[in-house]
Amino acid sequence: MKGLLAFAIAVSTVALVCAPATCEDDMPLIPRDVLFGNPDKAGVEISPDGAKLSYLAPVEGVLNVWVGPVDDPAAAKPVTHDKKRGIFNYFWAFTNRHIIYLQDKEGDENWRVYSVDLDSDEVKDLTPSVGVQARIQEVSRHFPEEILIALNDRIPQLHDIHRVNIGTGEKSLVMQNEGYIGYMTDEHYRVRLAVRISPQASMEYFLLDAEGKPEPFMTIGPEDILTTSAMAFDKSGDVMYMKDSRGRNTAALMKLDLTSMESTLVAEDPKVDIGGVMMHPTERTLQAYSTDYTRVAWHPLDEAVGADLDVLRTVADGDAWVVSRTLDDSVWMVAFTMDTGPVRYYRYDRESKQATFLFTNRRELEDQPLVRMYPVVIEARDGLELVSYLTLPPGTDPDGDGRPSQPVPLVLWVHGGPWARDSWGYNSVHQWMANRGYAALSVNYRGSTGYGKDFINAANGEWGRKMHDDLIDAVGWAVAEGIADEDKVAISGGSFGGYATLVGMTQTAKVFACGVDLVGISNLVTFMENMPPYWMPMLPLLRDRVGDHTTEEGKALLLERSPIAYVDRISKPLLIGQGANDPRVKRQESDQIVAAMQERDIPVTYVIYGDEGHGFARPENSTSFMAVAEAFLSAHLGGRFEPIGDDFEGASIEVPAGADQVPGLAEALAERAE
């Protein structure tokens, strides 16, 4: 991975290759490693006592945890020493001297939990078993030396709960899992609820007594299962906060008294589900909640917090998030997401009402020619509102109305999940596409989260059908609005987005000039048959919403919606990327469609990474794949591209098929092999 100095040099020396119709000589080409390399600082946290600040930052090109004085972030030093994959998930223990972080091996998602003693620099592997996945169950101020961890070391499908000492690693069994997808615990480390999915795809909650005996408590029907869930307990542990869509469309914020079973409405919105929630660190009272239709908005439930939110609205023109806070709630770490710049971090003192700027997460982005992201609402053919996000190439929208002066090539970038969503803010892919001369469009198709249960349930059984119709409708809208050149539209995405890409290349090949699939599903039958063992308790949910692979009729339906069944229809160029260790969408999903294409002499370029899983965590790998994708898109859409150069340095990239079909790829691989 290039260092920061190399980044700066690359900005001024990068070569420019472009088609005359899309190239603007005065528009700098943003280097890929600025867009997709490691951030300068990310994951900012304040210690519970407010004395220290921590963040993720590179050490010799690998993300590690840094810790320093809260009033002098520049004095921070690394406290972890990973040299390969990088650390992405960490938090402070309530001892104020321990950092806890999680890490898997080459993308296998068998997470291990580690603790770092800041006094002794000792790193302790708290879950040393091989081939076991650890999950953080609960962390409480009442037990600063211990945390609850869920482990599937007994049965791969089930996670038992253990109490673990973060200093010694000593652990004791708290709850043996007898068939549940998970448990809810309170801050007193009491296991309060057990949760499972019934064969009918309902969510069943069981209230546990002091001896751990389960009693039926609450059943959530299939129609509400993705929009209704328990969230947390109050200070007493006798009141549960939850999101609840039962009896309404959108998920409301509710309080449920576990003693009287009385339910109280706290907040609701007719258009969107309640999103994030702020809760006092010790009093565990609700302070604010967020909604997100096209942009995030925070709504106070506490008068004092409302005054703080009013102040934060004046600090920066972005969407604010309180990402960390002291135990006494006197100091907040606030991140502002922007669409035309990097994330801005502030330390906010609630008493003085002062916000102190700390740093951005990517300082080299601050001087780059970034462009606006426009929220747009597209109407699907059956009337559903599809909240979407559009970014246009610099210089193509002189009056700022979100429409280019003439149609441009477009890349439809499809989010994964599918039970997830796209949101407003800085998006590296959108900025990358726009800078290369393409419009970028991301669509919250039916099944995306945040817009109520009717919108989610409209996707049931519609993989490759109405979900794909939404994407085609969005392309049709972009063409009709004069945004997209209908002969130059690409489809791309990862996971479900990769599946959608393959559907686009097989079922609607006339719409797209090319496609880029990243860890996408090619065969819904083999996908369902080979899911990770710890997904098995969720199988009824997947069968209900995707299809049933256990019956011949169900298999036939799944195959009907699988791209592998229509390989003969692929007539446009296709690029496929895959992590060899992907536990979710296994390598065979890419292998089988590549093999089927090769058997029929259909060209395909296949890129594999031997040290990656579901997506690419190492920036060397991410940047190298984007280098290939950029050259591929330029060849078929006519946009600009930065030559591959040394972007394969440090990457585990292998190209078993189609290297000669991407400009410069075969040459870059040959040079790398020398």
User: Active-site positions?
Assistant: 495, 582, 614
DSSP secondary structure code for residue 531 in this structure: -
Do 515 and 492 form a contact (C-beta atoms < 8 A)?
A: yes
Q: Which helix (H) or strand (E) holds 58?
A: strand 52-59
Query: What are the residues facing 567 on neighbouring strands?
Result: none
HSE of 659, CA atoms in CB hemisphere, 13 A: 13
Query: What phi and psi, each to the nearest 5 degrees, are found at residue 467?
Result: -60, -40
Distance, first Cα to last Cα, the chain: 19
Instruction: Give CA–CA dist 177/192, Å, rounded.
Output: 13
Q: Please count the other Cβ atoms lying within 10 Å of the Cβ belonging to residue 74.
A: 8
CA-CA distance, 140 to 42, in Å (whole number)? 24
User: CB neighbours of 228 closer than 8 A, spacing ≥ 6?
Assistant: 203, 220, 242, 243, 244, 245, 246, 251
Instruction: Give the ranges where 243-385 is alpha helix by DSSP (H).
Output: 303-312
Q: Kindly state the tokens that stand for 283.
A: 């009093």
What number of other Cβ atoms are within 10 A of residue 600's Cβ?
A: 10
Residues 6+ positions from 335 with CB-CB distance below 8 Å: 44, 320, 321, 323, 343, 344, 345, 346
Q: Is the peptide bond before 418 cis (omega within 30 degrees of 0)?
A: yes
Strands 123-125 and 112-117: antiparallel
User: Kindly report the CA angle at 65 between 64 and 67, in degrees rounded to 5?
Assistant: 145
* Pairing verdict, β 229-233 and 344-349: unpaired
Report the greatest alpha carbon distance in the chain.
74
Q: Which residue has the tokens 């007994």?
A: 154
Q: Do residues 512 and 546 touch, judged by C-beta distance below 8 A?
A: no
Token pair recorded at residue 160: 């038992």
Question: Taking each helix axis from N to C terminus, what angle separates 496-507 and 466-480, rounded to the nearest 10 degrees?
Answer: 70
Residue 6 phi, psi dihedral angles, 5° rounding: -65, -35
